[in-house]
Amino acid sequence: MKKKVLVLGYFGYVDNELDGQILKTRNIYELLLLKIGNRADIDRFDTQRFKYSKLSFFKMLFKIIRCQVLVYIPAHNNLKYLFPIIYAFCWLKRSEIFYFVVGGWLVQYLKSKKLHVALLSNIRAILTESTDLSNSLTTEFRLKNVVTFPNFRIHSFIPTFVQNIDQFRIVYMARISRMKGIDYVFSLAAYFENCSDHKKRVIIDFYGPVEEEDEVYFYDQVNKHQNVTYRGVLQPENIHETLNDYDLMVFPTRYFTEGFPGTVLDAFISGLPIVATHWKHATNFIIPDKTGFIVPFENSVQEFIGAVITLYQDHDLLMKMKHNAFEQSRDYSSENAWEILKEFFEEK
């Protein structure tokens, strides 16, 4: 009889939403289908359905009761309110729980959650996106079931390392909000608009869902700058081919507890270096002067602009970083991801 595996997380299929949490949830599900789909019954539950039906909670519990292995990929509220209930059902069924952490916020969150710490200490594995987070969970809470599991993509893409001759093309791809640093990007746009001595035309394109609270600000700024365009939300199958045409990714986030953002990984796969602010785990993934530049986390707009100018002016350095970025992306392949997971999911 096939082992029943349930992947529980925010898939975003109801409205076809897309963000880092959703992409990771879908990728984990697809990786399990690819690697063990022939010998396991792999089901899924999309927690987006909670928005549309109260009965979906009971559908979720029914699926949990039926599963033997729960692959759990929650956001904050799910972990806070539903995890104790989910844990209880899995404990009664003697089902294994694998908690895949998205982002780097878990340590701070657990400091006031003794119940959650106790429950998490008894699940099969907590899989984090960075060694920093793994070490912090082990040290601060004495958790012995923590495994580092970096973000990954299932793909076969190889970039062409485009050399734009008359343009310097910059891309931002993330949720569009001031907390993600879009004001830094508009300051960058203003600098190049006001600078009369640059040899190439600088183009800045935005991709991603626009946060409601920053919608008015964002569209006002886009209309204000002639070198800026909003191009909507990229579908997963189009991300790498689209990014391939750019020179540089920018990621000036104000979320200090970012984990391993999919934006960074997709940039590397597409052969793009990245200029980012120094969030907590940034140096786990961006190698300064090799695959990108990291500027101070706060009040660093001038350093941010300066880092972009460096790559704008130095074509050889830019091309070297493009190749370095793609080489680093090989560390985050689906095969490397499966090497970590197979000890848990492959029968011995």
- Please tell me the predicted confidence (pLDDT) of residue 205: 98
- Please tell me the predicted confidence (pLDDT) of residue 87: 98
Interior CA angle at 101 toward 89 and 125, to 5°? 55
SS3 content of the chain, % helix, strand, coil (to 5): 45, 20, 35
Return d(Cα 20, Cα 17) in angstroms, integer: 10
* Cβ 269 vs Cβ 240: under 8 Å: yes
Dihedral angle computed from the Cα positions of residues 65, 66, 67 and 68, in that order, rounded to the nearest 10 degrees: 90
* Cβ 299 vs Cβ 287: under 8 Å: no
Return d(Cα 221, Cα 265) in angstroms, integer: 27
* 81, HSE (Cβ side, Cα atoms, 13 Å): 5
The residue type of 124 is R
Which pair of structure tokens corresponds to residue 186?
């508009």
* Cβ 268 vs Cβ 186: under 8 Å: no
Return d(Cα 97, Cα 92) in angstroms, integer: 12
Residue whose C-alpha is closest to residue 264's, from 156, 281, 336, 99: 281
- Please tell me the predicted confidence (pLDDT) of residue 17: 78
pTM exceeds 0.85? yes
Q: In tens digits, what is the pLDDT along the chain, a chain of 348 residues? A: 789 999 999 999 888 778 889 999 999 999 999 999 999 999 999 999 999 998 999 999 999 999 999 999 999 999 999 999 999 999 999 999 999 999 999 999 999 999 999 999 999 999 999 999 999 999 999 999 999 999 999 999 999 999 988 899 999 999 999 999 999 999 999 999 988 667 789 999 999 999 999 999 999 999 999 999 999 999 999 999 999 999 999 999 999 999 999 999 999 999 999 999 999 999 999 999 999 999 999 999 999 999 999 999 999 999 999 999 999 999 999 999 999 999 999 865
DSSP 8-state assignment for residue 346: S
DSSP 8-state assignment for residue 68: S
Q: What are phi and psi of 334, to 5 degrees?
A: -65, -30
Which class for 17: exposed (0-12), middle (13-18), buried (19 or more C-beta within 10 A)? middle
- Please tell me the predicted confidence (pLDDT) of residue 78: 95
